[in-house]
């Protein structure tokens, strides 16, 4: 704090920050995300009208909405098959379950992600192994993936975090060399493109979350698993419905599974939402392009890195703050931004191996399973194993953002960042008055 005071005394000409008693850039709240509209409402009313005449109780096997949603989802993402489930967590569980891993096998995953992408690994009694990331994007570093492969590895889960496609080509190449299936976790990246192709259909399986905060939703909760592999498709469908003998001459259930079925109500909403996805993603890209333009002259604060040949889907904004160029701490910068009227989270601080459930192995009673059951798993040192992920977290702030933002919001974000950088940044030569 003392050093920040000194800065202010030495540089009296810049605009006084709101955190120091100045006028905030923005006082109005950010606009709400109006994801659900009349189209979803009408589709649900129509479904009610049909169910009230035909019966069915919104069960997918008595209706047509879930089947249609699956067909449309697969067509949109360019895969042969899609099977719907009840959440993104269920989608990851189903994708892995369809691969029939043996207990003790290892699944390589991104270290910064939602617990819903990791817990299914543990439910299958497999061992999560975290590869490190590109600290600019938070996404898997292919070299680190290669280094973490062992004879026990059975799959790689590639997360496209925050709507940024991961660098898939080298990861696919490594996976092919080792005959490993790749699951793309697209929970945060609906509609993002890698080298022109929509993510989700590039690996062996794509897993989506369709919860209400995502680019498109099936109404609160939902998920989808897509693939071009027919065998994987049937086993995913079976896994998500208690091992039912779909596409089989057996009469009774084939293997251990869950009941992750989607309902007709969810699919009805999801179908309408899918039609809006293209527009939502485009709008987000346009807004980010405008913001990038407005932030051009900034020196210490930049939008998160975008790798070559990708079109991100921008779930929220990652803003990189170069602490070496500023005379304020990362947290002070975030506080200053909040004081200017912008919603901000100082860090996307979700390094999985740091969370209590993982560190304390709060899994199956007091057993410590699956780690305790496998000597190789007990040898894995997680703490500190992904230093670049930690660096990524500590150098980026999160600014929420969505397609209902307008020009004013973009201008305000840029203005607030500029104002704070000026106050805390390196001194610039005074402008000549002649």
Among 79, 83, 84, 89, binds ligand PLP (CB under 6 A): 89
Is there a contact between 394 and 138 (Cβ–Cβ < 8 Å)?
no
Stretch that binds ligand PLP, among 75-83, 87-95, 123-131, 136-144 (CB under 6 A): 87-95
Q: Is 117 in the site for ligand PLP (CB under 6 A)?
A: yes
Q: Is 94 in the site for ligand PLP (CB under 6 A)?
A: no
Q: How far apart are CA 409 and CA 341, in angstroms?
A: 11
State the greatest distance between any 2 C-alpha atoms of the chain, in Å, as a whole number.
90
Q: Is 209 in the site for ligand PLP (CB under 6 A)?
A: yes
Least separation in angstroms between residue 328's CB and ligand PLP is: 30
Among 30, 99, 187, 397, binds ligand PLP (CB under 6 A): 187
Stretch that binds ligand PLP, among 64-72, 169-177, 184-192, 280-288 (CB under 6 A): 184-192
Other beta carbons within 10 angstroms of residue 71's beta carbon come to 13
> Which two structure tokens, joined as six digits, stand for 428?
């610039």
User: Exposed (0-12), middle (13-18) or buried (19+): which is 27, by Cβ within 10 Å?
Assistant: exposed
Q: Is 114 in the site for ligand PLP (CB under 6 A)?
A: yes
Alpha helices by DSSP H, listed for 309-406, are 330-339, 356-359, 375-378, 387-395
Q: Is 346 in the site for ligand PLP (CB under 6 A)?
A: no
Among 165, 223, 346, 370, binds ligand PLP (CB under 6 A): 223
Q: Which is nearer to ligand PLP, 17 or 168 (CB)?
A: 168
How is residue 108 annotated by DSSP?
E
Q: Is 84 in the site for ligand PLP (CB under 6 A)?
A: no
Least separation in angstroms between residue 127's CB and ligand PLP is: 18
Q: How far apart are CA 84 and CA 259, in angstroms?
A: 11
Stretch that binds ligand PLP, among 16-24, 147-155, 183-191, 324-332 (CB under 6 A): 183-191
Q: Extract long-range pairs of 252-256: CB within 8 Å, 24+ residues apart.
A: 255/100
Nearest residue to 396 via CA among 303, 309, 306: 303
Among 97, 101, 111, 116, binds ligand PLP (CB under 6 A): 116
Residues sharing a CB contact under 8 Å with residue 161, sequence separation 6 or more, in sequence order: 110, 112, 113, 137, 138, 139, 188, 189
Q: Is 268 in the site for ligand PLP (CB under 6 A)?
A: no
Stretch that binds ligand PLP, among 85-93, 169-177, 275-283, 370-378 (CB under 6 A): 85-93
Least separation in angstroms between residue 123's CB and ligand PLP is: 13
CA atoms within 13 A on the CB side of 372: 12
Other beta carbons within 10 angstroms of residue 385's beta carbon come to 18
Q: Is 185 in the site for ligand PLP (CB under 6 A)?
A: yes
Applying CB under 6 A, the site for ligand PLP has a residue count of: 15
Q: Angle, nearest 10°, between helix axes 264-294 and 38-54?
A: 170
* E strand map for 81-220: 81-85, 106-109, 127-130, 153-159, 182-185, 193-194, 197-198, 205-209
Nearest residue to 343 via CA among 419, 410, 401, 280: 401
Fill in the per-residue mask, 131 to 160: x = in contact with ligand PLP (CB under 6 A), - = not in contact: ----------------------------x-
Among 63, 88, 101, 128, binds ligand PLP (CB under 6 A): 88
Least separation in angstroms between residue 82's CB and ligand PLP is: 16
Q: Is 184 in the site for ligand PLP (CB under 6 A)?
A: no
Least separation in angstroms between residue 235's CB and ligand PLP is: 20
Is there a contact between 46 and 54 (Cβ–Cβ < 8 Å)?
no
Least separation in angstroms between residue 366's CB and ligand PLP is: 26
Q: Which is nearer to ligand PLP, 210 or 339 (CB)?
A: 210
Residues that bind ligand PLP (CB under 6 A): 87-89, 92, 113-114, 116-117, 159, 185, 187-188, 209, 211, 223
């Amino acid at each position: 704090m003392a050093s920040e005071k000194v800065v202010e005394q030495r540089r009296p000409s810049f605009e006084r920050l709101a955190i120091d008693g100045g006028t905030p850039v923005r006082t109005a709240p950010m606009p709400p995300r109006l994801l659900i509209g009349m189209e979803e409402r009408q589709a649900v009313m129509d479904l009610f009208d049909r169910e009230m005449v035909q019966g069915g109780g919104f069960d997918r096997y008595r209706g047509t909405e879930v089947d249609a949603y699956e067909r449309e989802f697969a067509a949109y993402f360019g895969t042969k098959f899609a099977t719907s489930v009840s959440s993104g967590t269920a989608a990851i569980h189903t994708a892995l379950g369809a691969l029939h891993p043996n207990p003790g096998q290892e699944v390589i995953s991104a270290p910064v992600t939602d617990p819903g992408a990791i817990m299914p690994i543990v439910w299958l009694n497999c061992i999560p192994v975290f590869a490190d990331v590109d600290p600019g994007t938070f996404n898997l570093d292919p070299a680190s993936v290669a280094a973490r492969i062992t004879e026990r590895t059975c799959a790689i889960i590639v997360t496209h975090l925050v709507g940024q496609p991961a660098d898939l080509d080298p990861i696919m190449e490594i996976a092919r060399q080792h005959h490993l299936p790749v699951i793309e976790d697209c929970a945060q990246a609906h509609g993002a493109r890698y080298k022109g192709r929509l993510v989700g259909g590039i690996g062996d399986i794509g897993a989506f979350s369709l919860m209400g905060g995502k680019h498109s939703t099936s109404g609160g909760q939902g998920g989808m698993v897509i693939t071009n592999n027919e065998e994987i498709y049937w086993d995913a469908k079976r896994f998500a419905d208690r091992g039912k003998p779909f596409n089989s001459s057996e009469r009774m259930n084939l293997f251990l599974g869950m009941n992750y079925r989607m309902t007709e109500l969810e699919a009805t909403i999801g179908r309408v939402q899918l039609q809006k996805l293209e527009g939502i993603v485009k709008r987000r890209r346009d807004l980010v392009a405008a913001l990038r333009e407005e932030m051009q002259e900034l020196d210490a604060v930049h939008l998160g890195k975008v790798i070559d040949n990708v079109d991100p889907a921008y779930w929220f904004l990652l803003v990189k703050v170069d602490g070496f160029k500023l005379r304020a701490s990362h947290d002070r910068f975030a506080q200053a931004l909040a004081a200017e009227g912008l919603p901000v989270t100082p860090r996307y601080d979700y390094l999985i191996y740091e969370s209590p459930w993982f560190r304390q192995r709060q899994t199956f009673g007091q057993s410590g399973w699956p780690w305790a059951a496998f000597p190789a798993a007990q040898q894995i040192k997680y703490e500190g194993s992904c230093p670049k992920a930690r660096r990524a977290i500590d150098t980026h702030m999160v600014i929420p953002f969505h397609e209902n933002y307008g020009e004013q919001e973009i201008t305000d974000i840029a203005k607030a960042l500029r104002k704070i950088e000026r106050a805390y940044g390196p001194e610039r030569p005074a402008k000549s008055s002649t």
